[in-house]
Structure 1
Amino acid sequence: MDPRTSAKYVMRCDLCETAVVQIHCDTCLVNLCKACVGEHMISDQSISHKVVSFQARKSYIIYPGCTPHSKERCKMYCKQCEIPVCVSCIDSNEHLGHELSKILRVFDEKKESITKERNELNDIIYPTYQDIASDVQNRMSQLEKEYGDLSTAITKHGEDWHREIDKLVKKLKVEIDVMKNTQLQTLQKHLDKINKKMSDIKGEINAAEMVIVTNDLSKLFNVTSSVHIYRNLPNKIMPSLPKFNTGKLHLRKELGKLFGSLSSSSFTLDKHGYSMKTTQKSLEAGSPPPVKQLLDEPETVTTIDTGYTDNLYNVFCLSDEKIWTSGLDITMKLFSINQRSLLKSITTKSGNIQDDIAVTKSGDLVYTDYTDRTVNIVKNEKIKEVIRLQNWRPRNVCSTSSGDLLVIMDSDDYKQTKVVRYSGSTEKQTIQFNDEGNPLYSSGRYTRYITENRNLDICVSDYGADAVVVVNQAGKLRFRYSGHTPAPKNKPFYPRGITTDSQSHILTADHVNECVHIIDQDGQFLCYIDCGLRKPWGLCTDTNDNLFVAQWGNERVKKIKYLT
Structure 2
Amino acid sequence: MAQHYLVCGTEDCKRNCQFYCNPCHQRLCEGCRDEHQKSPDTKEHEVVTYKQRKPQLPEEKCNLHPKRNVEILCKECNVPLCAKCIFLKEHAGHQLDDLEEKYAEKVAFCRSEISKIQEYYLSTSQGLKKEIKEDVMEIKKTMDNIRNSIKAEAESLKELVDRVTSDKLEQANKIEETLLKTLNLQKKTYEDYTEYLEKLLKEFHRYKSITNFRVLFSEDFDKLKIQSIPETTQLVLPVFTAGQFYKDDVSKLLGSVNFPNTKPDNRRIKPMETASTQLKLTGKQTRRDVEKLDMKQTLSLSSSVTKVREYTVPGVDNVCHISLGKSGRLWGSDDSGNLVQIDLQGNQLQKIQTSGKYEGYHTVTQDGDLIYTDRKNKVINRIQQDNTITTIIKTGDWEPLSIHSSQINGDILVGMEKGVKAKVTRYNKTGKEIQNIQRDNKGQELYSHPHYITENINGDFCSSDCNKQVVVVVNNSGQHRFSYTGRGSGFWPYGICTDLLGHIIVCNSYAGNNSLHIIDQDGQFLSLLLSKQGILPCCVCVDDESHLNVGQLYTNTVTVYKYLQ
Distance 1:113 1:516, change over 3 A: farther
Deviation at 1:344, TM superposition (A): 1.1
Ranges in structure 2 where 5+ consecutive residues have no aligned partner? 1-123, 154-243, 267-284
Partner of 1:517: 517
Partner of 1:374: 379
Partner of 1:419: 424
Deviation at 1:461, TM superposition (A): 1.1
CA distance in 2, matches of 1:273, 1:136: 25
Of residues 479, 483, 503, the one that matches 2:482 is 479
CA distance in 2, matches of 1:464, 1:112: 49
Residue 336 of structure 2 is aligned to residue 329 of structure 1: yes
Correspondence list, 1:186-335, <5 A = 282-283=288-289, 289-291=295-297, 292-308=299-315, 310-319=317-326, 321-335=328-342
CA distance in 2, matches of 1:132, 1:273: 21
Contact 1:299 1:561 in 2 (8 A): yes
Distance 1:538 1:273, change over 3 A: closer
Correspondence list, 1:22-171, <5 A = 120-121=135-136, 126-127=141-142
Deviation at 1:514, TM superposition (A): 1.8
Contact 2:379 2:391 in 1 (8 A): yes
Partner of 1:428: 434
Deviation at 1:404, TM superposition (A): 0.8
Paired amino acid for 1:389: T
Deviation at 1:116, TM superposition (A): 5.7
Residue 537 of structure 2 is aligned to residue 532 of structure 1: no
Distance 1:134 1:529, change over 3 A: closer
User: Can you list the C-alpha shifts for 1:478-503, whole angstroms capped at 9, x where unaligned?
Assistant: 11111113xxxxx5011101000000
Correspondence list, 1:378-457, <5 A = 378-379=383-384, 380-400=386-406, 401-411=408-418, 414-423=419-428, 424-441=430-447, 443=448, 446=449, 448-457=451-460
Of residues 505, 508, 517, the one that matches 1:507 is 505
Distance 1:131 1:510, change over 3 A: same
Contact 1:422 1:429 in 2 (8 A): yes
Of residues 353, 359, 367, the one that matches 1:362 is 367
The normalised TM-score by structure 1 is 0.50
Distance 1:122 1:360, change over 3 A: farther
Contact 1:331 1:345 in 2 (8 A): no
Deviation at 1:309, TM superposition (A): 5.3
Contact 2:415 2:450 in 1 (8 A): no
CA distance in 1, matches of 2:369, 2:286: 17
SS in 1 for 2:404: strand
Deviation at 1:282, TM superposition (A): 2.9
Deviation at 1:325, TM superposition (A): 0.5
Which is greater in Rg?
A: 2
User: Can you list the C-alpha shifts for 1:381-428, whole angstroms capped at 9, x where unaligned?
Assistant: 1111111122110000001120010000001xx211000001122100
Partner of 2:171: none
SS in 2 for 1:549: strand
SS in 1 for 2:320: strand
Deviation at 1:524, TM superposition (A): 0.8
Ranges in structure 1 where 5+ consecutive residues have no aligned partner? 1-108, 139-175, 195-235, 237-270, 486-490
SS in 1 for 2:372: strand
State the 4+ residue runs in structure 1 displaced beyond 4 angstroms. Answer: 111-119, 121-125, 128-138, 183-187, 271-281, 283-289
Deviation at 1:560, TM superposition (A): 1.0
* Aligned length, in residue pairs: 323
Paired amino acid for 1:364: D
SS in 1 for 2:439: coil
Deviation at 1:434, TM superposition (A): 0.7
CA distance in 1, matches of 2:135, 2:251: 30
Deviation at 1:462, TM superposition (A): 1.3
CA distance in 1, matches of 2:465, 2:130: 32
CA distance in 2, matches of 1:514, 1:360: 30
Root mean square deviation, CA, Å: 4.2
Contact 1:120 1:286 in 2 (8 A): no
Deviation at 1:352, TM superposition (A): 3.5
User: Can you list the C-alpha shifts for 1:438-481, whole angstroms capped at 9, x where unaligned?
Assistant: 1111x2xx462111000001111111111111111111111111
Distance 1:463 1:364, change over 3 A: same
Q: Calculate percent identity across the aligned residue pairs.
A: 28
Partner of 1:27: none
- Name whichever structure is richer in strand by fraction: 1
SS in 2 for 1:435: coil
The normalised TM-score by structure 2 is 0.50
Deviation at 1:276, TM superposition (A): 6.6
Deviates more, 1:271-280 or 1:299-308: 271-280
Partner of 2:542: 541
Paired amino acid for 1:506: I
Paired amino acid for 1:477: H
Deviation at 1:326, TM superposition (A): 0.5
SS in 2 for 1:465: coil
Contact 2:152 2:477 in 1 (8 A): no
Deviation at 1:316, TM superposition (A): 1.6
CA distance in 2, matches of 1:352, 1:517: 29
CA distance in 1, matches of 2:286, 2:465: 27
Contact 2:324 2:543 in 1 (8 A): yes
Paired amino acid for 2:508: D
